[in-house]
Amino acid sequence: MKTSISKRITNFHSLTLILLALLMAGCSGGSGKDTGNDGNDGNNEGIVVSGMVRDANRHFLEAVEAYDDNGVLAQSDSNGHLQFRLPKGSSGPLRLRKTGYANQTIPLQIIDDQAQFEATMGKRGAVISIDPTQPVDVASTHGTRVSLPANALVDADGNPVSGNVDLTITPVDVSSDDELGVFPGAFAGEDADGVVPLILSYGTVEYRFTQDGKELNLAAGQSAEIELPIFVENHPDGSSIDVGDAGALWYLDEVTGLWKQEGMGTVVESVASPTGLALRANVGHFSWWNHDIAPEICMLTINTSGLRSGTEFILKGKTEIRSYPRSASTKVSESGAEYITPRGNQVELSATANTNEGIFEASQTVTCNGETGTTTLVFDNPTVPLINYFEGRTLPRFSLELDPDDSDNTRWVLDGQDAIFDWVVTGADRVMLVSDQGHDTTLGNNSGSVQFPLELNGSHADEYQFTLIAETVDGGEDRIVKVLQYGDGKPVIHSADVWQDASDENVQAATLSWEVEGADSIQIWVGINDDVSPLLLLEDNDPPQTGATVIDTVQKLLPFLGEWCDNCGAANLPVTLLFTNQYGTSEATVYVSVYDPRLLCAGGEAGRSVTTAMRVICE
């Protein structure tokens, strides 16, 4: 199980405003690194595509490549913006990629030779090195798992693979509004009966095997067993999801951006899954795999009030109840257009129109119980200006110096603190960042990021008050205040992860990895924050900034299982990483899966029991 230590942002308005104000206005201008693909041998004809890319924490992503079969079309700039041209008549989805992130596929809606999009990309899971000549059984975060026989992988030419192979497993938690945007492709697909206009997801996972950066797949006639964690608790009709339920399995066709139904799976117990359940199935190839259902649909007619006739708006909709399978979509629409919703489910609609009179917004939650329905979106008066997002944080700057108490060692020293701000504003003619300590600056864009030292003239205050001010020439104003504390210089933990390789059922091992700044030492404990006697697993007085260590869970953690729970066969044990320097200690906790085969196989019952991260063979 992976424990995120990053702060999740919750006070964020709809990204629809950004899409309109920044992308629609940018269709004639250039945003991003245009590669010169104008769609018609250098002239200005063709389809203008403008977009913006963020991560699941809503931070702009730079150097995201939009690409097709012919190569890279454009790269995103520091504000996450892209703009390029496609040849007239182009169709199909937009594909995006960035090192360290799962590939994204975005459906494009082309109107009057223009297309706008917003995209979210999720970080790929940790790289796991495997030997493809041996049986593979790997469990990763949230209860994901993949198992395949020895010598089952081949390269793009169908040749057997030898030598170490990199595996990444990337799940998407559809119950989270932020991660729902990471869902690739359209919430639509094809089954044996033809086109399916709407699918609802229980959870999706990318399984990716590569060698030297080139993708691998299963050989003809080979199959793999996978487990997809289930992130919701109920079926679309509200009934509970139970062990033994059947579920449809779908894979993403990156060429069309649609999901294709291929086979079925069975719901099984999964201790590491957030709901304790996963869909287990056999597959004949690797890609994005999705546990979906094709629900009954309603054709909902969207009427409007408060807009001039014929005004287009961007309409976003997502299913609202997080314990149900979910979907989301964005489209350009106008009054009287139809919108597909799952019948009987609450759907949150939000719409934004960019007009000469200003930016208009409307929102509504609807439930359509029949084959058709009608609703009216009421657009309020123009909103100008509006700060959609403003977040600030501090980041220590460290350097190394000789430890005065030990001439053989060095230690990290705090050189100072940087302030980092991200903002998104719509409808403003001027944006300013004002500090009570004199860090005043006029920001040149309505969205972006800025980083600067908090120290002025070699000194600093303990507390800073920053105000983001958005103004219009006619006196309109919006402002938000943020207070930053000058940091204490403790180590900064950027990530802490764990993965477990279960290819050998007789061996249990957990690989703990981390990325940290400013740590002079590390201690790894199990049970340090619980009402048991803690056990020190590792101590290092010179840890690498990016490091990893392997814990033999049989030798180290199995004896600890009895202190954690009475007579239990498996548990997720909290393992705490403590990073220390002269200024203090920072900690992160991950969870390691441990089982006792003697208890799981008690009674002599033969068969297989799949636990959190390990396959157990009972003889």
Are 92 and 180 part of one and the same domain?
A: no
Residues ≥6 apart with Cβ < 8 Å to 317: 328, 329, 339, 341, 347, 348, 349, 350
| HSE-CB of 405 using CA atoms within 13 angstroms | 2
Q: Which of 222-231, 233-242, 356-365, 559-568 has the lowest mean pLDDT?
A: 559-568
End-to-end CA distance of the chain: 28
Same domain, 277 and 183: yes
Question: Do 480 and 512 lie in a common domain?
Answer: no
- Residue 588 confidence (pLDDT) above 60: yes
Q: Taking the CA atoms of 561, 563, 569 and 573 in sequence, report the sign of the dihedral they define.
A: negative
Place of tokens 């990309």: 121
Higher pLDDT, 365 or 80: 365
Instruction: Judge if 132 and 119 occupy the same domain.
Output: no
- Are 115 and 190 in the same domain? no
pLDDT (mean) for 198-206? 97
Residues 22 and 41 in one domain: yes
Domain assignment present for residue 286? The answer is no
Report how far residue 292's alpha carbon sits from residue 279's, in angstroms, rounded to the nearest whole number: 10
**What is the residue-averaged pLDDT of the chain?**
84
Of 145 and 561, the one with more pLDDT:
145
Same domain, 514 and 601: yes
Q: How many domains does the chain have?
A: 5
Are 133 and 269 in a shared domain? yes
- Which tokens in the block code for residue 335? 């009054």
Q: What is the DSSP letter of 381?
A: S
Q: Give me the pLDDT at residue 474, please.
A: 75
Residue type, 383: T
Residue finishing a domain among 432, 463, 485? 485
Instruction: Output the six-digit token pair for 392.
Output: 């600030």
Asked if pLDDT for residue 543 goes beyond 90, the answer is: yes
Do both 276 and 139 map to the same domain?
A: yes
pLDDT tops 90 at residue 326:
yes
| Last-in-domain residue among 123, 153, 186 | 123
From 96, 123, 150, the end of a domain falls on: 123
Q: Could you read off the pLDDT of 235-253 as tens digits, one per residue? A: 999 999 999 999 999 999 9
In a domain, 4, yes or no: no
Residue range 153-165: mean pLDDT, rounded = 94
Residue 5 lies in a domain: no
In a domain? residue 205: yes
Q: What is the pLDDT of residue 510?
A: 87
Distance CA 315, CA 375 (A): 13
Same domain, 273 and 189: yes
User: What is the rounded CA–CA span in Å between residue 422 and residue 389?
Assistant: 8
Q: What is the CATH number of the domain that holds 471?
A: 2.60.40
pLDDT digits (tens, 9 = 90+) for 278-304: 999 999 999 999 999 999 999 999 999
Domain-located, residue 290 = no
d(CA 130, CA 311): 55
Does the pTM surpass 0.85? The reply is no
Domain with 324, as residue range(s), is 295-383
103/227 same-domain check: no
CA distances from 449 to 385, 419, 433, 434, 453 (A): 19, 11, 12, 15, 14
Inside any domain, residue 141: yes
51/255 Cα distance (integer angstroms): 20
CA distances from 500 to 140, 588, 617 (A): 6, 18, 17
Residues 112, 154 share a domain: no
Cα–Cα dist 317/522, whole Å = 46
For residue 8, is it within any domain?
no
Residue bearing tokens 């799981």: 600
